[in-house]
Amino acid sequence: MAEEYVHRGLGEEIQAIGGHYVITDEVRMPFEGKQILYLKGYALIDASCCGVGGCPFVHVKGFLLDWKRKKDFLGQDVSLVEPIRGEGLKRTLQKKLQEKEVYHQIRFD
């Protein structure tokens, strides 16, 4: 089932419990005859009682169906994506991303 993805500003700090994270890139990558949309970023734990740390991450939004097809009420671009289903497909994509990107954590919507 298709879902809308609202594009946020790249490079903006987003506050979270214990620190913040930043989306640095939106990447469209060819994969099995389609395009995958994924986000690259980093998380920084710098406001926690347990210490400090951080990690780069990849957040796979899904198969890109319609790039920046409209604007939302705040004027932000909205794309249409289909989430990745199936553990085998996720493992295949994760292997391809490991060859291309440096990250400590990967998440699929």
The mean per-residue pLDDT over the stretch 34-56 comes to 88
**How would you label 69-97 residue by residue, b for 16+ Cβ within 10 Å and e otherwise?**
eeeeeeeeeebbbbebeeeeeeeebeeeb
Give the domain extent around 11: 3-108
The mean per-residue pLDDT over the stretch 10-22 comes to 90
Q: What is the pTM assigned to this prediction?
A: 0.89
Number of helices followed by number of strands (H, E) in the chain: 1, 7
* pLDDT band per the 50, 70, 90 thresholds, residue 18: confident
Residue type at 41 in one-letter notation? G
Residue type at 37 in one-letter notation? L
The H or E element that residue 13 is part of is strand 13-16
Structurally, how many domains does the chain consist of?
1
